[in-house]
Structure 1
Amino acid sequence: MATAASTRPRRSARRLLLAAITAVALAAGGLFFLAPAQAQANGFHVVGSNLVDANGNEFIMRGSTHPYEWYQTQDDAIGDMSALGTNTVRVVLGSGQQWGPSPAANVAGIIDDCKANRVVCVLEVHDTTGYADASAPNAASLDQAVDYWISIQDVLEGEEAYVIINIGNEPWGNENVAGWEPAMTNAIERMRAAGFEHTLIADAPNWGQDWTNTMRDGDTAQRVFDADPLANTVFSVHMYSVYAQPQTVIDYFDAFEAKGLPLIVGEFGEDTPTAIEAEAQERGIGWIAWSWSGNTGGTHDQVIDFDPNQMRPWGERVFHGENGIGATAERASVFGDDPDPTDPTTTPDDPTTEPEPEGDCSAEIEVAGDWGSGWQGNVSITADAAVDGWTLTWTWPGATTVTSHWNAELSQSGATVTASDVGWNAAVAAGQTRQVFGFIGSSAAATPEVTCTAA
């Protein structure tokens, strides 16, 4: 293992090489490498072996999975994972063969929730798990997964900068593994023919683990990638017991690195070596851990009963480990550089430049992001005297409404909005400004005057 690590170029060297290749291509006027990526400038796209966001910045997934389809009332899960630093949440959906189908309106709400919490949504159809195996007789085919994506296409179009589509979870079992390639190729071609421009994720066969190396070896992955006219497909391997030894992880990463194709670890669990996170960090490979909560018997649960205050050792590794989410995740640049609304900070007022606030507190709305069909507002309170509980009110100047919110009790009556603290964010120290909650607004962005009343 030490030998393999010492002979592999470090991540910084590969970045310099990619930059040099890009510069040469541009200088020569030849867009042989960049044309598909430029065609996808409105959303995520693949450049070489890297995933790049709509702003042209490299994005490395560091995330967890929300088992939404089986736990639809756990609507705090995405926000709770975001608060721990997650930049990506993979969301389980159903296409109707085993679970669901997940309605388009629900999927639209999930996307809004991801945006509100500044995480990238990786949406996946779970019904395909183990297709073609006798042990999975009800599994959906990739064709049926594509049918589902087409059925909800209206809520996915225009979200290419925030949503990535994982066509089907572990979409082939262990039988007749050669069938994976034509099935995946056909699925990608159908998605593009239907007009989808999102980055697509292709899960490996063998229940995602590719222990036969069908996706890893030979030209199979290259042929699947070449079937995408937008050159915007990422491959995903799921690492469980097959990858119990660190060398198996290194060998798989080495093989894909040699191909120059984009790879993520779409799932891995607590029975795997920490070499997954360490090697992924060294090479700039994204990963999504399985899963937040709700597994039978609790195996692979990161937290107990969807409660972030009851974190299991697996969750500690995922979120707080040496190469875990807290230490390595960076938000997608499409969400801007604004503070995370789930991680309030305090900033002292400068009495030499700021006027003395009237009363106990004042508040304002800041537009943190605007994507046309909606916008994100962050609300901050400035305290004159110390505040331990607050209520805010404002009136929209037009037809704006709050479609979702977090970290506040909020109600609307006509154009008037009333919001109050939820306990943990009640206190604002004297002379300080604290971002206390956020929301998603409809219509045009607006920043009306806010009245702050201290409890």
Structure 2
Amino acid sequence: MKTRLSAAGATVLALLVAVLAFGQPAHAAAGFSVAGGKLYDANGAEFIMRGVNHAHTWYPQQTSSFADVKALGANTVRVVLSSGDRWTRNTNADVANVISLCKTNRLICVLEVHDTTGYGEQSEAITLARAVDYWLSLADVLSGQERYVIVNIGNEPYGNYNYGSWATDNATAIKRLRAAGLTHTIMVDAPNWGQDWGFFMRDNAASVFAADPARNTVFSVHMYGVYDTAAEISDYLGRFRAAGLPIVVGEFGFNHSDGNPDEDTILSYSQANGIGWLGWSWSGNGGGVEYLDLATNFNPASLTEWGQRLFNGANGIRQTAREASVFGGTPPPTTPPSTTPPPTTPPPTTPPPTTPSPSGGCAAAYTVTNQWQGGFQGEVRVTAGARAITGWTVGWTFANGQHVTQSWNVALTSNGTTVTARNADYNGRLAAGASASFGFLGSWTGTNSPPVLSCTAS
């Protein structure tokens, strides 16, 4: 079932007023936190999910999947768990091992209970209250993992009927989890099998956010056939952005039985606006939706058409994912053997060129993070000076005929070998000494020496 989005602005205004009324969200001291509609890791660095869903509860033996999706560049994995009500319960020891696998592979772990799927429409589905019982039974496993784990209370907790209690039930669930001492960021799924075609999450998200004593809740919409046009996608996600409420696309595909979602717009709009997403799903789909497998038979060397699009396509994982800073660095993504040739020339070992940082200005540092014959990946980190800035522009001219072919987290233009890079609307405001980074792919022949950068702040 689907419906079309309207262009009315009343909902945006109502959401914005509600958010402003209860003020700036508080930061959780030990783990992830939410502020200004964005997600921040425990170091205070903005974190944008770029990852996949993995059906662990049905394929518990596929533990190598965590390393495989990391090797393809993902920074997050959403893990399917069961409370034992519909499928075999994932034990405390099993969930502890899942968290360990995520941490070992430097992945942020979004854990979700799948037994709630379609409540109100499927008789075997459980309530959010029952899902909370399961989370509370995992208290010893979750404690101390706030830096690495986000708790998704229940997957698609209502079908297309009887979802009028969505807001109340989620608010009650969040309060129970907080009262029990859980301080993790909480993720809340939309009704209507996650797609929110009735706009019930959209119109009630502010009240659910306000019900969280920690102001540390993220909302998740699942985008399948309902979201088959660019207008529907940008309107829905844009209303959360305008209201200052955190939104992620917790599931989406490139095809579906209820229609053909516009995955290109989901990816491009999310990248332009700093919105996280998690593609469905790594492998093991059945029931007629096998086309949603990203890898054939869990084999990372055998990506499907959907897998190639999500990992290696424009605005995909390899191009846009950035590892959470809690892991202590951002290694370059591994190059799959089936796509770009592996590096044959090592990146430069000399210190990257850096512009000076005058009082109140900015500095920019240029680094080649990966290089192969004819191509390379670069990163530029912009750092504010002694005063906060509201925007920045970085410029340079390549000396050896290099050209930028793709970029992310920036508005970048090229005129021959001269490049001008301006901040995106979500990463221009920097506190004194704070940094933002953007990346790009480029081509080169012969020599790939780093350019000298200029940085201008506003």
Report what 1:291 is aligned to.
281
- Asked if structure 2 preserves the Cα contact closer than 8 Å seen for 1:88 and 1:119, the reply is yes
Task: Select 2:214's aligned residue among 219, 230, 238.
Answer: 230
Task: Select 1:316's aligned residue among 291, 304, 308.
Answer: 308
1:168-225, Cα deviation, whole Å (9 max, x unpaired): 00011111221111111111111101110000000001110000011113xx111100
Gaps of 5+ in 1: 1-30, 351-455
Task: Select 2:193's aligned residue among 196, 207, 226.
Answer: 207
Gaps of 5+ in 2: 1-21, 256-260, 336-341, 350-458
The one-letter amino acid paired with 1:56 is G
CA positional deviation for 1:338: 6.2
Structure 2 matches for 1:359-438, cutoff 5 A? none
The one-letter amino acid paired with 2:220 is S
Report what 1:86 is aligned to.
74
Report what 2:133 is aligned to.
147
The one-letter amino acid paired with 2:90 is S
- Asked if structure 2 preserves the Cα contact closer than 8 Å seen for 1:82 and 1:119, the reply is yes
Task: Select 2:202's aligned residue among 216, 220, 234.
Answer: 216
Q: Percent of aligned pairs with the same residue? A: 53
CA positional deviation for 1:347: 6.9
Task: Select 2:149's aligned residue among 152, 160, 163.
Answer: 163
Report what 1:265 is aligned to.
249
CA positional deviation for 1:340: 6.7
SS of 2:99 mapped into structure 1? helix
Report what 1:33 is aligned to.
24
Measured at CA, do residues 247 and 338 of structure 1 come closer, stay the same or move farther in structure 2, by a change above 3 Å? closer
CA positional deviation for 1:115: 0.5
CA positional deviation for 1:125: 0.2
The one-letter amino acid paired with 1:303 is A
SS of 1:242 mapped into structure 2? coil
- Asked if structure 1 preserves the Cα contact closer than 8 Å seen for 2:82 and 2:88, the reply is yes
The one-letter amino acid paired with 1:151 is S
Report what 1:188 is aligned to.
174
> d(CA) in 2 for partners of 1:331 and 1:341?
9
> d(CA) in 2 for partners of 1:249 and 1:339?
32
The answer on 1:300 being equivalent to 2:292 is yes
SS of 1:161 mapped into structure 2? coil
> d(CA) in 2 for partners of 1:259 and 1:106?
38
The answer on 1:69 being equivalent to 2:61 is no
Q: How large is the RMSD of aligned CA atoms in angstroms?
A: 2.0
The answer on 1:240 being equivalent to 2:230 is no
> d(CA) in 1 for partners of 2:62 and 2:116?
23
Task: Select 1:282's aligned residue among 272, 276, 284.
Answer: 272
SS of 1:281 mapped into structure 2? helix
The answer on 1:116 being equivalent to 2:107 is no
TM-score (norm 2): 0.66
Runs ≥4 residues deviating over 4 A:
340-348
The one-letter amino acid paired with 2:242 is A
CA positional deviation for 1:32: 5.4
Task: Select 1:131's aligned residue among 89, 113, 119.
Answer: 119
Report what 2:417 is aligned to.
none
CA positional deviation for 1:341: 10
Aligned residues: 313
- Asked if structure 2 preserves the Cα contact closer than 8 Å seen for 1:79 and 1:342, the reply is no
SS of 2:200 mapped into structure 1? coil
CA positional deviation for 1:299: 2.2
> d(CA) in 1 for partners of 2:23 and 2:209?
15
> d(CA) in 1 for partners of 2:330 and 2:302?
29
> d(CA) in 2 for partners of 1:192 and 1:78?
29
- Asked if structure 1 preserves the Cα contact closer than 8 Å seen for 2:86 and 2:125, the reply is yes
Report what 2:370 is aligned to.
none
SS of 2:278 mapped into structure 1? strand
Structure 2 matches for 1:320-335, cutoff 5 A? 320-335=312-327
1:34-79, Cα deviation, whole Å (9 max, x unpaired): 6x21xx1210000110000000000000000110000011111011
1:216-242, Cα deviation, whole Å (9 max, x unpaired): 13xx11110011000000000000000
1:99-141, Cα deviation, whole Å (9 max, x unpaired): 12110000111111001100100000000000011xx110011
